[in-house]
Structure 1
Amino acid sequence: MPEHRRVLLNGAVVETVREGDELLAGDGRRVRADDAVHLPPVTPTKIIAVHLNHRSRVEEFQIKLSATPTYFHKPTSSLNAHRGEVVRPEGCKWLNYEGEVAIVIGRTCRNVLPTEAGEYIAGYTVANDFGLHDFRDTDAGSMLRVKGSDTLCPLGPGVVTGWDFRGKYLRTYVNGTLAQDGSTDEMEWDMHYLVADIARTITLYPGDVLLSGTPANSRPVRPGDLVEVEVEGLGRLANRVVSGPAAIRTDLGAQPTESEEVLSTALGGDWEFRGIRSPRRG
């Protein structure tokens, strides 16, 4: 299956195709994949993510899944790439990984059936839908800062075309230790359904990205941790967590908190005070 990667080659943005351990540019230049400076593999106009989709995640929180998907938006300024650094701002503690499959749109898509949606998908890539849960109390509805802060949407290494999403494993590793072990078969709504659902009211353009949900065991990571997401047939996306160089301003706006909602979400329902949970647990 062809895999396309965007890299920075001698100061220029270059589209390449992977050939074994090398990346081949259209002008014939080659670079070792391990030596390449990767960029996000697509340039979307929007990034849309489903809150809950994997049954193991629903069971982890002991909640009832809604009858239809719900979504949130990650701004394009949150984009990151393979081997890019993920910044945990100074003063924040609850930064969680979420390994996912990302759908990449290939053609302008509006008002299509699920049976037609595959014709509008260019391919798939690996995603890590990082969440900064310190802001969950104020942004729980929109998830804007929780999921949309800078660097919190790594994608890559490349976009794979002709990939069948059925029956594929999805695994996340933290410092080499398996942390999430899921499958696309545990998704309540498959890739074609998600595309068709969103396209009922929102036009999807080439390069747009839909994140399809994460399995159980999303947990906090710290500066220095290496987080890798591997999806069968799509490759392995690696990112290092670093500490932000400066604290978030304290003279305006909501501040990071450690409420029951924050801790319960960040720790996967392990917090002793469960309370009443929202179904929106992206």
Structure 2
Amino acid sequence: MMRGRIAYAGAIYEAYPEGNRVRLGDGRIRREDEVVWLAPIEVGTIFALGLNYAEHAKELQFSKQEEPLVFLKGPGTVIGHRGVTRRPADVTFMHYECELAVVIGRTAHNVKRATAMDHVAGYMIANDYAIRDYLENYYRPNLRVKNRDGGTVLGPWFVDAADIPDVTQLELRTYVNGALQQRGNTRDLVTDIAALIEYLSSFMTLAPGDVILTGTPEGIVNVNAGDEVVCEIDGLGRLVNVIVSDADFGRI
């Protein structure tokens, strides 16, 4: 089942796809642009993977790491479908990152790879923006690169794991102003989902609602204020986001 969360007329509702519209939990049907989209779930800890597609690592001239490159993201980074993301005026290269987001459904501690997928509740699309200007190095993404307010777009739907028959064969696509710029497939993950859960749970406990962002494939380009960025993943929907300037955001 696909389900999301929206704000409408002063209340928050569960929401469901209804053709090109959205059906509220009380049965009312509205256009996508009539509601405010929230992240589909109440998000716990966010674990983000860097350089987890071989071709993307090559694109950034980075050699293979010995273990997964993981960093944490704060809750203020998260916005929903059709939200806006600010592009600071002083930067020269800001790019999207279309990623498969894995949602933990059961507490995981010292989980082995063979049973790791039993701890997955479902999946979402993520668009995790990065600002290359602020990057110290590829081994240590700093806070200004990956923990910006509104820099991680999630949604539009949470999809139950049981509804995705093969998560290892999902195509990812990113369009900027309608032009296809990024394309990849989850079969090319350097460290797959089960191995990531085994790795993370070996030294810390994963809780229901925690989210693992599994990395982005090659095909990043700079985006500017006014650009519309659309991320798609097979079976998960279409995540829309717009880039705005400092002035548009009220920060001059």
With the length of structure 2 as denominator, give the TM-score of the two structures: 0.90
Matches of 1:246 and 1:28 in 2, distance apart?
39
SS of 1:116's equivalent in the other structure is helix
Match of 2:207 in 1: 205
Aligned to 1:10: 9
Structure 1 stretch 20-29 or stretch 36-45: which is displaced more?
20-29
Q: Does the C-alpha gap of structure 1 residues 232 and 5 become closer, same or farther in structure 2, counting only changes over 3 Å?
A: same
Matching residue's letter, 1:197 = Y
**Which SS does the other structure have where 1:173 is aligned?**
strand
Q: Which residue of 2 aligns with 1:275?
A: none
Gap regions ≥5 residues in structure 1: 248-282
Larger radius of gyration: 1
- Counterpart in the other structure of 1:232: 234
- Residue 122 of structure 2 aligns to a residue whose secondary structure is strand
1:1-282 matched pairs, under 5 angstroms? 2-33=1-32, 35-137=34-136, 141-161=140-160, 162=162, 163=164, 164-244=166-246, 245-247=250-252
What SS does structure 2 have at the residue aligned with 1:185? helix
User: Percent same amino acid at aligned positions?
Assistant: 38
Distance 1:73 1:59, change over 3 A: same
Structure 2 gaps, min length 5: none
In structure 1, distance between residues paired with 2:245 and 2:229: 15
Deviation by residue 1:59-111 (Cα, 9 ceiling, x = unmatched): 32343212321211111110011110011123223211111111111122221
- Measured at CA, do residues 31 and 110 of structure 1 come closer, stay the same or move farther in structure 2, by a change above 3 Å? farther
Contact 2:18–2:29 under 8 Å retained in 1: no
AA at the equivalent of 2:181: A
The CA distance in 2 between the partners of 1:49 and 1:139, in whole Å, is 13
Residue 132 and residue 62 in structure 1: after superposition, are their counterparts in 2 closer, same or farther (change >3 A)? closer
Query: Structure 1 residues 115, 34: closer, same or farther in 2, change over 3 A?
Result: farther
Post-superposition offset of 1:16: 2.4
C-alpha separation between the residues in 2 aligned to 1:246 and 1:19? 37
Measured in 2, the distance between the counterparts of 1:87 and 1:97 equals: 12
Deviations 1:152-184 (A, max 9, x none): 100110111121312111011110111101111
* Contact 1:41/1:155 (8 A) holds in 2: yes
SS at match of 2:146: helix
- Partner secondary structure for residue 59 of structure 1: helix
**1:217 and 1:80, CA in 2 relative to 1: closer, same or farther beyond 3 A?**
same
Distance 1:205 1:35 in 2: 33
Query: What root-mean-square deviation, in Å, do the aligned CA atoms of Structure 1 and Structure 2 show?
Result: 1.9
CA contact (8 A) 1:49 1:210 kept: yes
Equivalent residue of 1:124, what SS?
Answer: strand
**Cα distance between partner residues in 2 of 1:11 and 1:146:** 33
Answer whether contact 1:139 1:146 (CA < 8 A) is retained: no
The SS at the match of 1:246 is coil
What residue identity is the alignment partner of 1:236? R
Distance between the aligned counterparts of 2:57 and 2:155, measured in 1?
Answer: 26
Give the residue type in structure 2 aligned to 1:131. A
CA contact 1:103–1:124 (8 Å) conserved in 2: yes
Q: Cα deviation per residue 1:16-75 (whole Å; 9 max; x = unaligned)?
A: 233444444444333344543211112222111111111211232343212321211111
On the 8 A contact 2:136/2:142 being kept in 1, the answer is: no
Q: Which moved more, 1:169-178 or 1:116-125?
A: 116-125
